[in-house]
């Protein structure tokens, strides 16, 4: 592949990228614990907020007549101000990529290689990400398309084996809506509306890969809804297998649920199925966040992003290791600090202000044209 030629991805590839990006690390750590047995309802409810957010993002591109968030900033603000905002988003994306990578290294260290240093796992993972980044998003999207049947089959088998094993107990998710809407809303805000749905702001920085944007909103909204249904379903399964108490205490709830499978003392220890699905989702998530950060550097410096892959890869590796002393601290930071002070301003605050600014600019421009 010639790295200088234009890269484009199809609507189908975009749909798959968003779908596995949404699943990503969400199935690893679990979400919606505040809603207890109604967590699956909270996940589904939050998906509709995700659809609304996609409308805002696509509207920004429409009003600015630009191909990405970075160009939209430039069309509304001066060069210096837009570069400052772009730099903030660049830091945000590489920081979140490091957090997701830390989720994966902790998963591997817990489930597969307990005696392997997480530094070694992180470096190997980042080298693979750098390789795909160099070849571009188009190659990554095609590779994911190849893995799609295997991932769907593994997810299906996990549910079938849990059912055959008798692990699914509907009584564990009852009574439904027992505590009313308050716990569900507490789970939606701010956790679920920022993680994973708000993180789709990364796609606003990568829309230049879509050549025709006429059906962008429909494809994005459909991907978010399908992802919400899948996440809600597996949250339901997780609760029906582990129950509320065990699920909230488990570091990796889905993995704990899979470990309950034991059919005829033959089908056991199927962790690999779950880890494979999580690996693909996390890989896509880290790759897209890192690519968005690289695109930010490209927008600021006007130098092709591939020149920065190596230094950004080094930063990502180191940052994932020093981001927290242990996994408990990592989760605490991700649940108590990041949603309020990082996610909400950058996923909702600035995009909404940008949309208002672009809409105002368009209205004022229209009035001036009529007056002239």
What tokens were used for 221?
A: 């909204």
Confidence band for 224, pLDDT divided at 50, 70 and 90: very high
What tokens were used for 131?
A: 């390789």
The pLDDT of residue 314 is: 96
In this predicted structure, which of 187-201, 228-242, 314-328, 354-368 has the lowest mean pLDDT?
354-368
Q: Which one has a higher pLDDT value, 48 or 112?
A: 48
Q: Give per-residue pLDDT as tens, 103-118.
A: 889 888 877 788 888 8
pTM exceeds 0.85: yes
Contact criterion met (CB below 8 Å) for 46 and 228: yes
CB atoms within 10 A of CB 329: 11
Measured CA to CA, the distance from residue 242 to residue 247 in angstroms comes to: 5
The pLDDT of residue 168 is: 92
Query: Measured in Å, how far apart are the chain's first and last C-alpha atoms?
Result: 51
The pLDDT of residue 366 is: 57
DSSP state, residue 4: T
Dihedral of CA 54/56/59/61: which sign?
negative
* Residue ranges in 205-308 assigned as alpha helix (H): 216-249, 253-258, 271-301
266 Cβ neighbours under 8 A, 6+ residues apart = none
Confidence band for 322, pLDDT divided at 50, 70 and 90: very high
**Whole-number average pLDDT of the chain:** 89
- Is the peptide bond prior to 196 cis by the omega test (within 30 degrees of 0)? yes
How much is the average pLDDT of 349-370? 82
Measured CA to CA, the distance from residue 55 to residue 188 in angstroms comes to: 19
Confidence band for 248, pLDDT divided at 50, 70 and 90: confident
Instruction: Kindly tell me if the per-residue pLDDT of 225 is higher than 50.
Output: yes
Residue 180 burial (CB < 10 Å; 0-12/13-18/19+)? exposed
The pLDDT of residue 254 is: 83
11 Cβ neighbours under 8 A, 6+ residues apart = 210, 215, 219
Q: Which one has a higher pLDDT value, 256 or 49?
A: 49
The pLDDT of residue 273 is: 82
What tokens were used for 193?
A: 């509306």
Tracing tokens 């796609």 back to the chain, one arrives at 203
How much is the average pLDDT of 61-66? 86
Q: Does residue 55 sit in helix, strand or coil? A: helix
Measured CA to CA, the distance from residue 77 to residue 90 in angstroms comes to: 17
Q: What percent of the chain shows pLDDT beyond 90?
A: 56
321 Cβ neighbours under 8 A, 6+ residues apart = 102, 118, 119, 122
With residue 332 as reference, give the H or E element that holds it.
helix 327-332
Alpha-carbon separation of residue 44 from 104, 151, 232, 252, 344 (angstroms)? 25, 21, 6, 20, 20
Instruction: Kindly tell me if the per-residue pLDDT of 357 is higher than 80.
Output: yes
Q: Which one has a higher pLDDT value, 371 or 14?
A: 14
Q: Does residue 8 sit in helix, strand or coil? A: coil
Residue 71, CB-side half-sphere exposure with 13 Å CA sphere: 15
Confidence band for 235, pLDDT divided at 50, 70 and 90: very high
Q: Which one has a higher pLDDT value, 1 or 142?
A: 142
DSSP state, residue 37: G
Instruction: Kindly tell me if the per-residue pLDDT of 179 is higher than 70.
Output: yes
Q: Does residue 262 sit in helix, strand or coil? A: strand
What tokens were used for 222?
A: 């459909």
What tokens were used for 155?
A: 């997810």
Q: Give per-residue pLDDT as tens, 272-298.
A: 888 888 888 899 999 999 999 999 999
Q: Which one has a higher pLDDT value, 265 or 40?
A: 40
Q: Does residue 167 sit in helix, strand or coil? A: coil
Contact criterion met (CB below 8 Å) for 56 and 63: no
11-323 domain in CATH 3.40.190.80?
A: no
Q: Which one has a higher pLDDT value, 331 or 42?
A: 42
The pLDDT of residue 367 is: 57
Q: Does residue 118 sit in helix, strand or coil? A: helix
DSSP state, residue 132: H
The pLDDT of residue 1 is: 44
Give the residues across from 268 on adjacent strands: 262
With residue 263 as reference, give the H or E element that holds it.
strand 262-263
Instruction: Kindly tell me if the per-residue pLDDT of 66 is higher than 60.
Output: yes
């Amino acid at each position: 592949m010639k790295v200088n030629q234009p890269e484009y991805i199809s609507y189908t590839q975009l749909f798959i990228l968003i779908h596995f990006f949404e699943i990503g690390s969400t199935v690893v750590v679990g979400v919606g614990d505040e809603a207890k047995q109604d967590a699956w309802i909270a996940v589904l409810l939050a998906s509709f907020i995700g659809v609304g957010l996609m409308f805002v993002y696509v509207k920004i591109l429409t009003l600015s007549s630009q191909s990405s968030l970075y160009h939209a900033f430039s069309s509304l603000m001066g060069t210096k101000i837009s570069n400052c905002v772009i730099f903030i988003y660049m830091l945000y994306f590489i920081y979140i990529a490091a957090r997701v990578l830390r989720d994966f290294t902790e998963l591997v260290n817990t489930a597969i290689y307990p005696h392997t240093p997480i530094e070694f796992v992180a470096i190997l993972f980042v080298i693979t990400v750098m390789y795909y980044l160099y070849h571009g998003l188009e190659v990554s999207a095609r590779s994911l398309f190849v893995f799609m049947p295997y991932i769907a089959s593994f997810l299906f088998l996990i549910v079938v084996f849990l059912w055959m094993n008798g692990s699914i107990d509907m009584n564990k998710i009852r009574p439904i809506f027992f505590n009313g809407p308050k716990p569900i809303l507490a789970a939606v805000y701010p956790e679920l509306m920022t993680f994973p749905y708000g993180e789709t702001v990364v796609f606003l920085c990568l829309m230049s890969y879509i050549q025709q944007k006429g059906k962008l909103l429909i494809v994005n909204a459909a991907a978010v809804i399908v992802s919400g249904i899948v996440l809600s379903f597996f949250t339901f399964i997780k609760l029906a297998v582990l129950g509320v108490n065990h699920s909230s205490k488990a570091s990796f709830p889905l993995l704990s649920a899979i470990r309950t499978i034991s059919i005829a003392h033959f089908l056991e220890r199927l962790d690999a199925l779950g880890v494979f699905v999580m690996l693909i989702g996390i890989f896509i998530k880290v790759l897209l966040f890192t690519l968005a950060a690289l695109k930010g550097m490209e927008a600021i410096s006007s130098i092709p992003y591939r020149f920065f892959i190596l230094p950004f890869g080094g930063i990502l590796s180191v940052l994932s290791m020093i981001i927290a002393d242990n996994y408990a601290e990592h989760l605490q930071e991700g649940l108590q600090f990041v949603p309020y002070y990082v996610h909400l301003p950058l996923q909702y605050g600035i995009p909404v202000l940008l949309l208002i600014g672009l809409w105002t600019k368009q209205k004022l421009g229209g009035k001036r044209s009529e007056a002239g």
